[in-house]
Structure 1
Amino acid sequence: MSPFSQINMAKSQQIYATFVNGKVITKQVYDLYQQSFIDSPLYTELYNNLEHFTQLYQHIGFTLNFNVDGEFFYISRSEAEEDADTNATKIQAMLLIIARYWVDKGYDLDDLMTPVIGLGRTALEEIAEQTIYDDIRQALGIETWDKALNYLSDRNFLYQCGDKHYILSSAGMHFLNLHVEKYSQEQD
């Protein structure tokens, strides 16, 4: 029996489509209908068949990356480093704006992953009103704050959990925690 026959073809195709659209696959996704995090079947498929998918992506010119701390998968390609750097810069800058706003308000960063708290309409309006944040957004080439949120959401770094209400995914929180840790080390 071929290793390919043991893999769910529909899920494999969904995984590929997710990756080539610049998204990450997180262990859990936010389900609007259940209003809670649920396990991602795509993550489970990848995790349970890691060797297969690692080889598959190597054969088609990608590297399958698994981030243990953030519990997410993504692919990379050395030829696409410039595009990846641009995307990473946009993602990190937008996440840092959110974190800076959040911390300045005296909130705990972990609350950004809590659906009943998260990033609501008021917070989004206050971020949009701050000139420095708006200048950064414009410098990144993102036209509006709605497009910035869609940019993060489309790549699974942010999940919408209501009208103008968002929470960070494990991948988004992982990047924030890396920056907090790096900043803390620099202060020591």
Structure 2
Amino acid sequence: MTPFSQISMVKSQQIYTTFVNGKVITKQAYDLYQQRFIESPLYTELYNNLEHFIQLYLHIGFTLNFNVEGEFFYISRSEVEEDADTNATKIQAMLLIIARYWVDKGFDLDDLTTPVLGLGRTALEEIAEQTIYDDIRQALGIETWEKAINYLADRNFLYPCGDKHYVLSSAGMYFLNLHVEKYSEDQ
């Protein structure tokens, strides 16, 4: 086990703050200024000191979860399962709306992870105009489409890559692919 003195206190605090604000930590984050994906120093810190952070979060009542396929970390606590389920439902429903819109337009889902393509202003406006999508948003208790997109971005499932332009993170894409696989199995 890595001694506490060898772990960056600043990064450890940033990791904790990120998690308790309901965010995931992805391997790559979109840097708006460099206009490209960059390696996340918080992910690297977690990955390089995994056993330390697993034990740390266990000691403070959380489970550190590592999703290998989606390349992201998140924490959970059994006492807040209902809140987590509500958040997961909102996240998954919004991602599925985006995916359904995207596929209906004839685009490849992988394009949502490409900054040059991604989810732009026109797509967001067209999604907002569809009654069925709007009904789902309202049923989720999200006031506006802007707040829905911010909800995903605030949790690192989407990254802004321009004005009213977003790209899916690896965590967002993981959940989309998971649901596509489930749907394909059911058919």
Q: TM-score range by the shorter chain?
A: over 0.9
Aligned to 1:63: 63
- The Cα shift of 1:58 comes to 0.2
- The TM-score with structure 1 as length reference comes to 0.98
Partner-residue secondary structure (3-state), 1:180: helix
Aligned residue runs from structure 1 range 18-167, under 5 A: 18-167=18-167
Post-superposition CA distance 1:37-81 (Å, at most 9, x none): 000000000000000000000000000000000000000000010
Structure-1 separation of matches of 2:86 and 2:183: 22
- Please tell me the residue identity of whatever aligns with 2:80: A
User: What runs of 5+ residues in structure 1 fail to find an aligned partner?
Assistant: none
User: What runs of 5+ residues in structure 2 fail to find an aligned partner?
Assistant: none
Is 1:179 the counterpart of 2:179? The answer is yes
- Please tell me the residue identity of whatever aligns with 2:111: D
Structure-2 separation of matches of 1:138 and 1:149: 13
- The Cα shift of 1:99 comes to 0.1
- The Cα shift of 1:154 comes to 0.2
Partner-residue secondary structure (3-state), 1:22: coil
Partner-residue secondary structure (3-state), 1:75: strand
- Please tell me the residue identity of whatever aligns with 2:96: L
Structure-2 separation of matches of 1:179 and 1:165: 24
Aligned-CA RMSD value: 1.0
- The TM-score with structure 2 as length reference comes to 0.99
Structure-1 separation of matches of 2:28 and 2:160: 14
Structure-2 separation of matches of 1:84 and 1:137: 18
- Please tell me the residue identity of whatever aligns with 2:135: D
- Please tell me the residue identity of whatever aligns with 1:132: I
Report % sequence identity: 88
Post-superposition CA distance 1:147-176 (Å, at most 9, x none): 000000000000000000001000000000
- Please tell me the residue identity of whatever aligns with 1:173: M
Structure-2 separation of matches of 1:10 and 1:140: 36
Partner-residue secondary structure (3-state), 2:116: coil
Aligned to 1:5: 5
Structure-1 separation of matches of 2:122 and 2:86: 29
- Please tell me the residue identity of whatever aligns with 2:145: W
